[in-house]
Amino acid sequence: MKFDPAMLARLQFAFTIIFHIIFPSFTIGLSAYIATLGVMWRWSGREHFHVLMRFWSKIFAVSFAMGVVSGVVMSYEFGTNWSRFSAEVGNVVGPLIGYEVLMAFFLEATFLGVLLFGFNKVPPWLYVLSAVFVAVGTAMSAFWILSANSWMQTPAGYALRDGVAYPTDWLAVIFNPSFPYRLAHMLNAAYLTTAFVVLAVGARYLGAGKFHEEARTMLRMAIGLTVILAPLQLIIGDQHGLNTLEYQPLKVAAMEAHWEAGGPAAFEIFAWPDQAAQTNRFALSIPHVSSLILTHSWDGAVPGLKAVAPAEQPPVVPVFFAFRIMLGIGLFMIAAALYGAFLWWRGVLFETRWYLALMANCWWIGFIAVISGWVVTETGRQPWIVQGLLRTADATSPVPAGSVATTLVLFVLCYGVVFWMGIYYINRLINRGPEPSVTEAEGLANRPLMAGKDALAAGR
């Protein structure tokens, strides 16, 4: 690997955005969960829903703050590291990102303040309504940013003049061909990721013999949700894959490590793709299955990487393995959800200790699946930054490699500290657990990071 500025810029962007995506993928799901808890609290009048709502709101606040600070950096990186990208497709992508920023800003400035600090200051219905708006707001933020990303995968609704893209049809830009699939896949992933965190926390409490009522509610809600969403994600993922096959066949070929086009194609359970030799070193495969997955027919023809010169192919190894990690976690989630539902049906869910212990340790799997999925879709698009329109190597800033390398090291150091502090404080909050009554007066403020004080107080 040669450390040219483009490679360093990609590494830096990959590092900062992987760090960033962890928090939105959690807060999108968690805000929906908090809103659900709020609605159930008003609906049933049962206080423990309210206790759980307050508990998860504090964790939400810390995560949201981490998402905000890492998101600020992203909004500048398009210029610092990808200035030619900004100059050439800014007309089209800029407003999509702009709307995302405005939505997040609007959300933070209004409803989040009420949700986090307004508990004693507003009537309960407004408090719950704020939670609903926060959930809608985070999903809207995802809507815009995924629209921007999908446009980079399947650009539409633009005209090219002198190498610069101009919007011709905003609806076609926003609802570009891969957008509905990517949005559904990502939102569902966020909800699944959060459900597995909730499941893990509930399982942890039951295992430790703490907070029985709240823990049971968490387990029931999480399993009830995952038993639907985990299989649904397989269907959405399949549809998303078919869309990718149509618009970005080389990405699919890299996911499957298929060098030769044609059919019937085998599914490689494990292989070691050798891009230099344009073949797989070792392969453990099931015949026909890849044709079945991709074409829904026994002998269907699939694309091969050799359709283009090696320099035009995406890097196969990371795409191939990231796809298998994502798929493996997805299948594990389906099994875990179905088995949990089975235990629940048999009435032994809360007593099956090995299952609770396993789930308590699986809080992280959704995050790994989300990151792997992004590695597949972003690396699989290479060597393009905007598919068929702008190459990654042509999109970088005129900044020397030394500057990019220096700031990359700074990012790793700073984010390393911030990340571990954040995880540490969230863990403290979880260990303290849901607390029944709130007596202290809390101020209304537009400062989500403030909830960090609860995290710190929890450790005292």
Q: Which residues would be at the binding site for other proteins (CB under 8 A)?
A: 65, 68-73, 75-76, 78-80, 83-84, 86-87, 90-92, 94-95, 97-99, 101-102, 105-106, 108-110, 113, 166-168, 170, 397-400, 402-403, 406-407, 410-411, 414, 418, 421, 443-450, 452-453, 456-457, 460
Write the CB contacts of 54 (distance below 8 Å, at least 6 apart in sequence). 119, 434, 435, 438
**CB 242 → other proteins: shortest distance, Å?**
31
**Please, which residues bridge with residue 285 across strands?**
268
**CB 175 → other proteins: shortest distance, Å?**
14
| Residue whose CB is less far from other proteins, 108 or 256 | 108
Residue pair 229/163 in contact by the 8 Å Cβ criterion: no
| Residue whose CB is less far from other proteins, 78 or 127 | 78
Phi-psi domain of 315 (left: phi exceeds 0; alpha: psi -120 through 50; beta: other):
beta
| Residue whose CB is less far from other proteins, 107 or 322 | 107
**Tokens read off for 191:** 């909800």
- Cα–Cα separations (whole angstroms), residue 140 to 24, 70, 147: 12, 19, 11
C-alpha atoms less than 13 angstroms from C-alpha of 177 in its C-beta half-sphere: 13
**Tokens read off for 145:** 């940013």
From 9, 8, 32, 171, select the one nearest 86 (Cα to Cα). Answer: 9
What SS3 state is found at 259? coil
Alpha-carbon gap, residue 198 to 209, rounded angstroms: 16
Alpha-carbon gap, residue 218 to 51, rounded angstroms: 12
Alpha-carbon gap, residue 453 to 440, rounded angstroms: 13
**CB 254 → other proteins: shortest distance, Å?**
30
**CB 68 → other proteins: shortest distance, Å?**
7
Residue pair 296/273 in contact by the 8 Å Cβ criterion: no
**CB 92 → other proteins: shortest distance, Å?**
7
| Residue whose CB is less far from other proteins, 436 or 443 | 443
Alpha-carbon gap, residue 104 to 134, rounded angstroms: 10
Alpha-carbon gap, residue 334 to 154, rounded angstroms: 30
Say which DSSP state 262 is in. Answer: B
**CB 127 → other proteins: shortest distance, Å?**
17
Strands (E), 376-424: 384-386, 390-391
| Residue whose CB is less far from other proteins, 235 or 409 | 409
**CB 23 → other proteins: shortest distance, Å?**
13
| Residue whose CB is less far from other proteins, 361 or 431 | 431
**CB 77 → other proteins: shortest distance, Å?**
8
| Residue whose CB is less far from other proteins, 348 or 410 | 410
C-alpha atoms less than 13 angstroms from C-alpha of 339 in its C-beta half-sphere: 12
Residue pair 273/285 in contact by the 8 Å Cβ criterion: no
**CB 58 → other proteins: shortest distance, Å?**
13
**CB 406 → other proteins: shortest distance, Å?**
8
**CB 187 → other proteins: shortest distance, Å?**
21
Alpha-carbon gap, residue 374 to 387, rounded angstroms: 16
Residue pair 370/21 in contact by the 8 Å Cβ criterion: yes
| Residue whose CB is less far from other proteins, 235 or 410 | 410
| Residue whose CB is less far from other proteins, 96 or 215 | 96
Task: Name the one residue in this structure whose structure tokens are 């107080």.
Answer: 457
Write the CB contacts of 27 (distance below 8 Å, at least 6 apart in sequence). 60, 63, 64, 67, 138
Residue pair 187/139 in contact by the 8 Å Cβ criterion: yes
Residue pair 457/127 in contact by the 8 Å Cβ criterion: no
| Residue whose CB is less far from other proteins, 99 or 320 | 99
What SS3 state is found at 188? helix
| Residue whose CB is less far from other proteins, 106 or 339 | 106
**CB 116 → other proteins: shortest distance, Å?**
12
| Residue whose CB is less far from other proteins, 102 or 261 | 102
